[in-house]
């Protein structure tokens, strides 16, 4: 199918109407691609995504033109171009060898369902452009609310579709979910009061003046997601007022330090309006001491938000649900469906314990979101939104709670296997143990293991700096070679006296990742390390010096 | 395809693996739906979406369960359920009779391309999960930047893929785009200065103290989109500090009132950090006097943002581009691709004249968005995002600028036709003339036209109140009958002494909407009005009284 049937694409209103009414022909490139995707997605991705990385600068040359082309292009010509320039150099996020980020393979049924969603092109900001999708999304929010808070049917029955209540808000992802939670918390802390109209109407400055605070703050462990600082900036709190609390050796918020900081801030007349607990840190996958944090927040009347964007899905598992104990006491919880719920990109949620909480950010307008309407847009940060809730709805039904439980259980099991495997190697160091399905490690040549064990602090730091360079070199090389992918981050383990250590970071959510693949990743990395010849020489020289001294 | 081949869906890890590796069979319901969508989308939507509206309360009963089902469900069973309960009661936004909102039919090629996008499941927050999609998105932003600002190739060449510059930010929609623009403006107005770290780091309160302002404000006409108040709330400015300026009889910001308000706010020591011009008001489709507003903003050193979420696509048309004159002087511009660029829901953009502007909201983290990286996430409000930019990229190439020009031209032409048609009727009143492809009108029985012409102010208001009820009745009935759809809003036309008038609101973007359809909409509405028997009697009685007096 082309804009019209002539050899050269030209444009007339009649030909334009065709692109809205006449589908691609059965022999067209695009129809064939669609069919290949439906027939064998993994084969299509393996065949069309080039493994070895093309340098970014080379790719950029294909996307250099700022002028919008004046003349139309044949769909078939453009499709070939997309295959060669875009698909070929995209990232194979569904590959079982791609274990570096939280993006995984998707269940097959989601592809046709996503097509249905696109074809329906609903806008969930209001009922007039979404109808059944509005109660559907509300039910999905209700189901996730139940997953966390486990309230009775009698609780949900009058609330699920109430115009004056919201069990949560759907959004594009965890960042918007976190911003929404903190926005609600901020507005609740500084509400209307007598002649004062509240922060939502009068602004932060007037609110602090009215309530007599010197400033606002959010508390979170040093492992908090970067979106919290972004949220603090957006919300007018300021990034520096995200006060970070040190963590223990398991990357969990240190409760004593938390209490001390709280006291200090109170003495400074700073209003701590939100505390964020993490259920699955982005870097290490650990869970904060949620019950103790909840208790302190209740005592201090502080909004307790839990960022479970990634880890929240653990609640599906009877086996591992206990790891998130205390989450049911949170005032709000972030969960991303595009992470461990295996939904395509763009599906985040924030749930609120109190079904009236979202009234703190309620908005109305004349043409939509009229007061009393059930338009979802009156309680979301975003306006127009797609019907992606349908994909969550379908997955919750087709997989069922037990299906998700199996996925979670096998992910965590696989992470424990990989942790054992790493620990068994003489030349790898497990840096953070998996609590959920995430772990970090690094490559340490055997001689360096021995040298580090007896080195002075200064020698350790020097050696660790070299090892950091080695880790960065290996991670980049591994990505460029395209056989497998792990990500990297920087941690400050107590074992190395809080010196910043660069580590490989692995997320084992893809059900297609096998134990053999994990073995091959270590083999490949060991092999890659050998390519860093000059770095290895420097490391060896340093180690010899340390070992010779002793 | 089912989770496994037994009659009852059960769950084992092997059966779960299948849903990640084995596609739906060719005879499955889901495959057949997909094929129907590909073969004839319009027929599928016409066949499967029930025209007559089911009451929302009835629909809600189908989405009442908060418990996530424990056991899995067969894909085929679930698909039938979706067809019956969700698709059937969704909104036929692609229908040429659906002319009430900004959602329209989509070009056919976008369906298979959306499937490719879903299958690739890229995450554009960082290059490691998006690779070629990162330069692709940057190019799309560059193309939209060029559409607005028309800078030379020499301008774009060094900037398009520069790690330290951004021509704009992609986001889920116009609301996030507007928030991003105002966030940047706010942070630019209160930057780091000597010992002060800037509002981004130290927060709004410290910033006002440092700069000695009493408060902040945003100025926009009374026709501004509701997202601006939401933005002001989020950003800590407060909704009341969105100061609205009256409009003239064409719904355009009144410049004299604008100057007066600016002076008053300065006298009150309020920092007006942003002025928002509207290029296509949501309710009436009018364009503010952008050149004059830009000039005043330059003089006062205020960030000038243009909300062209809907109207921005007018720039594609050589014929109508002049209507947005002055937009090229804006510091930032919002454009939604899911409106007049005919992209599925979820594609917004904000462009910045100054390619360094987005540095005001730059964010970094250890594991992604490292300083100096080209990760898109360091300059967006959202974190994880889909690769929907690919659909914009493809449409810009396949339609070309001239294709979009034709779409815009025919939309505006159709709006002018409809306006003429309405004016020719004895019993319809055109309330706002179309400047772009949006107009408002109402039904006024012939006798009321005559009565209003001679009524006193009080009599006019009383009659208009009844006519408002009639308009609301008609709009609801029309929606329920499901043959066609117009939206409604409330305006305060000078003609009716600024009394609030409820009007039908029509957006004529769907290229499949014909003149005959527009004629049939008026016929249907005239017919619907007759069903409001008691209202019509009251209107007639009032009119008789007025006419008898004279």
Instruction: Give the gap in angstroms from C-alpha B453 to the nearest C-alpha of chain A.
Output: 27
B191 and B230 share a domain?
Answer: yes
From A360-364, B155-159, B348-352, B421-425, the region with the lowest mean pLDDT? A360-364
Domain-located, residue B120: no
Q: Is B66 on the interface with A (CB under 8 A)?
A: yes
From A316-330, A416-430, B23-37, B491-505, the region with the lowest mean pLDDT? B23-37
Confidence at B9, pLDDT banded by 50, 70, 90: low
Cβ neighbours of A405 (radius 10 Å): 22
Compute the average pLDDT of residues B314-333. 98
Q: pLDDT averaged over chain B?
A: 95
Q: Which residues pair with A432 in a beta bridge?
A: A440
CA B486 – CA B440 distance, rounded (Å): 10
Question: Looking at B336, B357, B385, which one is the last position of a domain?
Answer: B385
Residue A3 has pLDDT above 80, yes or no: no
Q: Is B520 on the interface with A (CB under 8 A)?
A: no
For residue range B35-88, list pLDDT tens digits in order.
899 889 999 999 999 988 899 999 999 999 999 999 999 999 999 999 999 999
Domain-located, residue B121: no
Residue B6 has pLDDT above 50, yes or no: no
Tokens of B107: 């070009």
C-alpha distances in Å from residue A545, one per residue of A267, A461, B165: 51, 14, 46
B427 and B459 share a domain?
Answer: yes
A180 and A329 share a domain?
Answer: yes
CA A26 – CA B486 distance, rounded (Å): 36
CA dihedral sign, ordered B318, B334, A75, B413: negative
- Tally of domains within chain A: 3
Three-state secondary structure call for residue B153: helix
Residues listed for chain B: 550
Question: Looking at B354, B385, B416, which one is the last position of a domain?
Answer: B385
CA-based end-to-end distance of chain B: 76
CB contact under 8 A, B174 and A384: yes
Which runs of consecutive H residues, i.e. helices, occur in B301-388? none
Q: What is residue B357's predicted lDDT score, i.e. its pLDDT? A: 96
B147 and B82 share a domain?
Answer: no
Domain-located, residue A542: yes
Domain-located, residue A116: no
CB contact under 8 A, A139 and B65: yes
Q: Residue A309's closest chain B neighbor by CA?
A: B384
Q: Residue A113's closest chain B neighbor by CA?
A: B30
Tokens of A432: 């953070």
Tokens of A466: 């070299």
Instruction: Give the gap in angstroms from C-alpha B234 to the nearest C-alpha of chain A.
Output: 5
Q: What is residue B383's predicted lDDT score, i.e. its pLDDT? A: 95
Contact at 8 Å (CB) between A294 and A274? no
Residue B10 has pLDDT above 90, yes or no: no
CB-count exposure of residue B27 (10 Å: 0-12, 13-18, 19+): exposed
Instruction: Give the gap in angstroms from C-alpha B168 to the nearest C-alpha of chain A.
Output: 13
Q: State the virtual CA torsion across B525, A367, B348, A183 in degrees, nearest 10.
A: -160
Q: pLDDT averaged over chain A?
A: 95
Residue in B13, B130, B203 nearest the CB of A237: B203
Q: Is A215 on the interface with B (CB under 8 A)?
A: yes
Tokens of A167: 């069990």
Question: Looking at B385, B418, B447, which one is the last position of a domain?
Answer: B385
- Whichever domain contains A440, its CATH number is 3.90.1150.10
Residue in B30, B37, B203 nearest the CB of A238: B203
Compute the average pLDDT of residues B517-544. 97
Residue in B16, B30, B344 nearest the CB of A407: B16
- Whichever domain contains B285, its CATH number is 3.40.640.10
Q: What is residue A8's predicted lDDT score, i.e. its pLDDT? A: 53
B334 and B433 share a domain?
Answer: no
For residue range B84-138, list pLDDT tens digits in order.
999 999 999 999 999 999 988 999 999 999 999 999 999 999 999 999 999 999 9
B185 and B254 share a domain?
Answer: yes
B213 and B256 share a domain?
Answer: yes
Residues listed for chain A: 550
B64 and B182 share a domain?
Answer: no
Domain-located, residue A397: no
Q: Is A8 on the interface with B (CB under 8 A)?
A: no
Q: Can you give the residue range of the structural domain that contains A412?
A: 403-549
Residue A126 has pLDDT above 90, yes or no: yes
For residue range A454-464, list pLDDT tens digits in order.
999 999 999 99
Task: State the pTM of this model.
Answer: 0.96
| Main-chain phi, psi angles of A482, to 5 degrees | 75, 10
B379 and B433 share a domain?
Answer: no
Domain-located, residue A157: yes
Residue A4 has pLDDT above 50, yes or no: no
For residue range A164-200, list pLDDT tens digits in order.
999 999 999 999 999 999 999 999 999 999 999 999 9
Instruction: Give the gap in angstroms from C-alpha B311 to the nearest C-alpha of chain A.
Output: 16
B355 and B414 share a domain?
Answer: no
From A132-136, B26-30, B481-485, the region with the lowest mean pLDDT? B26-30
Q: Can you give A276-314 as a three-state secondary structure string?
A: EEEECCCCCCCECCHHHHHHHHHHHCCEEEEECCCHHHH
> Which residues 251-280 on chain B approach chain A with CB closer than 8 angstroms?
none
Q: What is residue A6's predicted lDDT score, i.e. its pLDDT? A: 41
Q: Is A105 on the interface with B (CB under 8 A)?
A: yes
- Residue (of A220, A348, A203) closest to A273 by Cα position: A220
CB contact under 8 A, A91 and B122: yes
CB contact under 8 A, B187 and A233: yes
Three-state secondary structure call for residue A334: strand
B369: left (phi over 0), alpha (psi -120 to 50) or beta: left
Q: What is residue A15's predicted lDDT score, i.e. its pLDDT? A: 86
Provide the total of helices (H) and of strands (E) in chain B, helices listed first: 18, 11
> Which residues 414-473 on chain B approach chain A with CB closer than 8 angstroms?
none
C-alpha distances in Å from residue A289, one per residue of A227, A260, A265, B287: 21, 16, 21, 54
C-alpha distances in Å from residue A60, one per residue of A107, B33, B155, B165: 32, 38, 16, 15
Confidence at A7, pLDDT banded by 50, 70, 90: very low
- Residue (of B146, B140, B156) closest to B397 by Cα position: B140
For residue range A451-489, list pLDDT tens digits in order.
999 999 999 999 999 999 999 999 999 999 999 999 999
B302 and B410 share a domain?
Answer: no
C-alpha distances in Å from residue A40, one per residue of A34, A115, B305, B428, B545: 10, 16, 47, 57, 75
Domain-located, residue B118: no
Domain-located, residue A114: no
Residue A495 has pLDDT above 90, yes or no: yes
- Residue (of A84, A47, A44) closest to A63 by Cα position: A84
B427 and B331 share a domain?
Answer: no
Enumerate the residues of chain B whose CB falls inside 8 A of the CB of residue A67. 143, 146, 153
């Amino acid at each position: 199918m082309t804009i019209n049937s002539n050899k050269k694409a030209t444009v007339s209103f009649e030909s334009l109407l065709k692109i809205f009414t006449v589908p691609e022909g059965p022999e067209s490139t695009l129809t064939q691609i669609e069919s290949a995707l439906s027939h064998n997605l993994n084969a299509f991705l393996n065949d069309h995504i080039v493994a070895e990385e093309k340098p970014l600068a080379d790719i950029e040359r294909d996307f250099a033109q700022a002028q919008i082309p004046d003349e139309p292009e044949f769909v078939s010509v453009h499709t070939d171009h997309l295959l060669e320039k875009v698909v070929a150099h995209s990232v194979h996020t569904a590959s079982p060898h791609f274990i570096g980020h939280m993006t995984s393979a998707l269940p097959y049924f989601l592809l046709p369902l996503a097509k249905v969603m696109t074809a329906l092109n609903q806008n969930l900001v209001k009922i007039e452009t979404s109808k059944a999708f509005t109660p559907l999304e509300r039910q999905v929010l209700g189901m996730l609310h139940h997953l966390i808070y486990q309230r009775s049917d009698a609780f949900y029955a009058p609330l699920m579709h109430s115009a004056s209540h919201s069990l949560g808000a759907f959004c594009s992802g965890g960042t918007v979910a976190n911003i929404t939670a903190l926005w609600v918390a901020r507005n609740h802390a500084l509400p209307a009061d007598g002649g004062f109209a509240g922060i939502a109407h009068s602004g932060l400055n007037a609110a602090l003046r009215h309530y007599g605070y010197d400033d606002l703050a959010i508390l979170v462990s040093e492992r908090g997601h970067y979106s919290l600082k972004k949220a603090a900036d957006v919300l007018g709190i300021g990034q520096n007022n995200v006060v970070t609390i040190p963590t223990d050796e398991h990357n969990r918020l240190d409760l004593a330090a938390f209490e001390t900081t709280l006291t200090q801030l109170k003495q400074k007349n700073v209003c701590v309006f939100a505390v964020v607990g993490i259920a699955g840190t982005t870097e290490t996958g650990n869970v904060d001491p949620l019950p103790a944090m909840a208790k302190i927040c209740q005592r201090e009347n502080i909004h307790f938000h839990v960022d479970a964007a990634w880890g929240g899905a653990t609640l599906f598992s009877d086996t591992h649900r206990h790891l998130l104990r205390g989450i049911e006491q949170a005032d709000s919880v972030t969960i991303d469906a595009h992470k461990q719920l295996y939904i395509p990109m763009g599906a985040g949620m924030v749930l609120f314990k109190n079904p009236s909480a979202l009234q703190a950010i309620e908005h109305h307008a004349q043409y939509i979101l009229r007061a009393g309407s059930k338009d979802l847009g009156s309680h979301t940060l975003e306006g127009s939104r797609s019907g992606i809730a349908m994909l969550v709805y379908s997955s919750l039904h087709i997989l069922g709670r037990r299906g998700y439980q199996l996925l979670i259980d096998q992910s965590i099991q696989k992470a424990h296997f990989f942790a054992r495997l790493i620990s068994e190697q003489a030349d790898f160091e497990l840096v953070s143990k998996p609590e959920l399905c995430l772990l970090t490690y690094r490559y340490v040549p055997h001689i360096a293991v021995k040298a580090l064990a007896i080195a002075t602090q200064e020698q350790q730091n020097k050696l660790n700096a070299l090892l950091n360079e080695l880790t960065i070199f290996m991670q980049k090389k591994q990505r460029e070679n395209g056989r497998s992918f792990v990500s990297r981050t920087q941690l400050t383990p107590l074992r190395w006296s809080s010196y910043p250590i660069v580590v490989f970071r692995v997320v084992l959510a893809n059900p297609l990742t096998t134990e053999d693949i994990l073995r091959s990743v270590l083999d490949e990395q060991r092999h890659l390390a050998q390519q860093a010849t000059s770095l290895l020489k420097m490391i060896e020289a340093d180690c010899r010096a340390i070992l010779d001294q002793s």
